[in-house]
Structure 1
């Protein structure tokens, strides 16, 4: 039933990225527990026990996402007359979620940049491009050579890869162009830029992020001031997505106008809303370029030359 749901509903009715995430949840969180069972035999108690197991494994937010995916599955099965009712009805999300506000400090950005240099290609340049462009993780990871225009000065993210489904032009700062230009050219039909095969984007985020964290911590302890116990130094946890918020906040500190920052982030809500959002089709390309150059210059100032 899950395979049918994926083929008949998930893939044709969702953007590729959303479909990919729903499929991942169903195949990693649901099938290992319910494989071989008929959907008609799954009840409310089964759903609750499945979610409890995910929470107990230390991933409560994943339990929320699993509940959402299951609810869609059971609604689809109900509409098709396969089951009489959705057992997810009135089951509350297991975990409370709050929006994150983690922004890396200037000192953390120095450590980050140096740590990226330590771990090297492909994850080091990948993280640096995330920071310099303020784009989403998967958008950068799956960047392809064909998406670069104007001699590498402009990166166009196609609508099918953008979260809001709209193509997005990202002016590349001189620093970003330099990093991309220094990457080894890996042969592959898909021509992914940050890749070890050329046929798929960079991956293995968790393992590579752990290496970067370790390098940042080692650098922080090496830099410890006289009289400070290096072992007492710790780094506050952060996520790759926090780099996007850090860049946005940093551009705000540089007095970049909010609507320009939203344009850089490819947001379609916030400062320009309602009817104005419908009629304002100006892409702010030159303003975005100036903003990203200013942000790159700030990073260069912090890191002593983007070495």
Structure 2
């Protein structure tokens, strides 16, 4: 005889689990939704299998379904896989491929698209791939993550997010009723103690000397790095810059939305030094490409390594002459191209009186609409122009 009655099921309101016996539970969610699950265990593995919504499945039918599930489990039949197969529900492996195919066209970086699916196929598909996407549970995901959680913390965090994306997709497609209980999974994993790595940057007090050394000789990598420093732009935005984006008469560079991290067009006011740099770049213009900084391979842009090479060369030269090189004091690593954005931001905060909103917009960081409303767009552009001129003057002071 079960512990629940039709009346008690109807009157139950508080979120939680209400046991009927033999593994059958009435589950009430935080928003009041009621559903049935049956808890079964086979070969040391415990599973919760959904039996449907309590609003559609009465208590008597829930008991019958629970009995049927237990009998199938004892006969070695997986009722979830059986149900998924008959309903056309994909395996987790197939779901990964479908999610990747649907999202890849919207990702601006092909490298990210490749890494996205490679991470899942390397660390998740071997253990979860053959399961129906409806049968992937918190315990299975937790065990999958635990295998690399401490050894490869950054990869594990990305894997966690990507598994969750696949499961949320399955919910949206109607292949499962609910997503993963991520807070439960997180609590069941050991605490990661790995220190997050930042892009190593150069103290702004050392920048004028560095710029002087950078300009002692001319190469495509050095010119591109100088452009990145003078504009405080991301290296990828500089490497893919085209002549059509530059208005040297108006002293602006307009980066299209599809190349911006925030997905919005960004107008960069150019200092006189930056304009002069791009005027010099006209001597390096190639007929076969519109790229301002063409790479060695025909029609291809420069690589990130090309911008990093002059920093490493100047660092090594400084050490050979008995200098201290160009290290980030906190990181103990050689400064990176992206790190000069941090150099710029620290300099603005410590050496100028420009508002944070101006500095953040110069870096194309997202800022609140409320903050934007406090400034006129024209004022921000002119303020940024003043700021970038002050920055360029400091760089060569």
Q: Structure 1-normalised TM-score?
A: 0.74
Q: 2:352 aligns with which of 232, 235, 255?
A: 255
Instruction: Find the counterpart in structure 1 of residue 162 from structure 2.
Output: 69
* d(CA) in 2 for partners of 1:88, 1:249: 40
Q: Which residue of 2 aligns with 1:297?
A: 393
Superposition RMSD in Å = 3.7
Contact 1:67/1:88 (8 A) holds in 2 = no
Q: How does 1:76-87 map to 2 (within 5 A)?
A: 76-82=169-175, 86=179
Per-residue CA deviations over 1:112-146 (Å, capped at 9, x if unaligned) read: 43664589533322222221111223222221111
* 2:256 is the alignment partner of 1:163: no
Alignment partner of 2:185: what SS?
A: coil
SS at match of 2:249: helix
Verify: 1:219 aligned to 2:219, yes or no: no
1:167-178 matches, cutoff 5 A: 167-178=265-276
**Higher strand share goes to which structure?**
2
The structure in which a higher percent of residues are helix is: 1
Does 2:288 match 1:195?
no
Contact 1:159–1:167 (Cα < 8 Å) also in 2: yes
Structure-2 residue corresponding to 1:243: 340
CA 1:123–1:64: 2 relative to 1, 3 Å: farther
Shift of the 101–46 alpha-carbon distance from structure 1 to 2, 3 Å rule, reads closer
- Aligned residues, how many? 283
| 1:252 Cα deviation after fit | 3.4
- Structure 1: which 5+ runs fail to align? 302-307
Measure how far apart 1:298 and its partner are.
Answer: 0.9
Deviations, residues 153-182 of structure 1 (Å, cap 9, x unaligned): 210111222222221111112222233333
1:108 deviation in Å? 4.2
User: What do residues 97-120 of structure 1 show as CA deviations (whole Å, max 9, x unaligned)?
Assistant: 769596522464356436645895
Residues 107 and 150 of structure 1: CA distance in aligned 2, closer, same or farther (over 3 Å)? closer
State yes or no: 1:151 paired with 2:246: no
Residue 91 (str. 1) matches residue 185 (str. 2): yes
Higher RCO, 1 or 2 (CA under 8 Å, sep at least 6)?
A: 1
Structure 1 residues 150 and 128: alpha-carbon distance in aligned structure 2, compared to 1, 3 A threshold: closer
Paired residue for 1:23?
113
Distance 1:76 1:34, change over 3 A: same
How far apart are the structure 1 equivalents of 2:254 and 2:148?
42
Query: Is 1:56 equivalent to 2:151 in the alignment?
Result: yes
Provide the rounded CA distance (Å) in 1 between the counterparts of 2:123 and 2:161.
17
- Tell me the SS of whatever aligns to 2:253: strand
1:8 aligned residue (80, 99, 102): 102
Say whether the 8 Å CA contact 1:192–1:198 is kept in structure 2: no
- Structure possessing the higher radius of gyration over alpha carbons: 2
Q: CA contact under 8 A between 2:229 and 2:340: conserved in structure 1? A: yes
CA distance in 2, matches of 1:278, 1:20: 35
Tell me the CA shift for residue 29 of structure 1. Answer: 1.9
Which 10-residue stretch deviates more, 132-141 or 103-112?
A: 103-112
**1:195 counterpart SS class:** coil
Q: 1:180 aligns with which of 273, 278, 282?
A: 278
How has the CA–CA distance of structure 1 residues 61 and 110 changed in structure 2, closer, same or farther, with 3 Å as cutoff? farther
Q: CA deviation at 1:149?
A: 1.6
Partners of 1:54 and 1:216 lie apart in 2 by 37
Alignment partner of 1:155: what SS? strand
